[in-house]
Amino acid sequence: MEINVLVADKSHAVYAREICDEMFVSAQERGTGIAKRSPDYVIEKMEAGKAVIAIAEDGRFAGFSYIESWEGKKYVANSGLIVAHAFRGIGLAKRIKQRIFRLSRELFPDAKIFSITTGSAVMKMNYEIGFRPVPFAELTHDPEFWKGCMGCRNFPILENNNYKMCLCTGLLYDPKEHIAIQDEIIKIAQ
């Protein structure tokens, strides 16, 4: 079955409740924390062109992710990666992750892109793209971002550690680091 991974728009708002329900159920099944999002929040991301959705050829929702910018667009978070149960195990999460990363780079080319997760599969995908694990101190300091964690079952851990560590791992992609690596490779080749 063909699955299209595309930038979401207002026409995809019909999937917002299903996306939120899938996020909640998946977090419960894994026993891990995930920040709760409302359908209105998901729709806002779609309408702003700051989300990626996967739709199967038969019209079923297959997956989703969104981005949010922080500190005057200095940081961008890749968040809410979810794949519907019926579409797991076929590499769709990786396709969604790659597309949300490209969208982040297109909209915010100079921003540091980050992700926080407890999932090893997401960590691996981020690493393959060029993210590296970092302490939370290297992520955004915007208190509004951390308020988004309040719906997570692990929020007391984050709060008790003054927002410096939790069960999640922080991952960061800094475009300036990748420019330096490319420059070094060019110097060696000359």
pLDDT, block means (10 residues), the chain with 190 residues: 96 97 81 75 97 97 96 93 94 96 96 90 90 93 86 85 89 84 50
Q: Go through the domains of the chain in sequence order and give each one's CATH number.
A: 3-189 (3.40.630.30)
CA dist 170 to 3, 105, 131, 140, 189, Å?
30, 19, 10, 11, 33
What is residue 83's predicted lDDT score, i.e. its pLDDT?
95
What is residue 27's predicted lDDT score, i.e. its pLDDT?
73
How many of the other CB atoms lie within 10 Å of CB of 74? 14
Length of the chain equals 190
What is residue 170's predicted lDDT score, i.e. its pLDDT?
93
Question: Cβ distance 62 to 52 under 8 Å?
Answer: no
What is residue 186's predicted lDDT score, i.e. its pLDDT?
46
What is residue 34's predicted lDDT score, i.e. its pLDDT?
63
What is residue 6's predicted lDDT score, i.e. its pLDDT?
97
Question: Cβ distance 139 to 150 under 8 Å?
Answer: no
| 16-27 confidence digits (pLDDT tens) | 999 999 988 887
d(CA 184, CA 76): 26
Question: Cβ distance 176 to 74 under 8 Å?
Answer: no
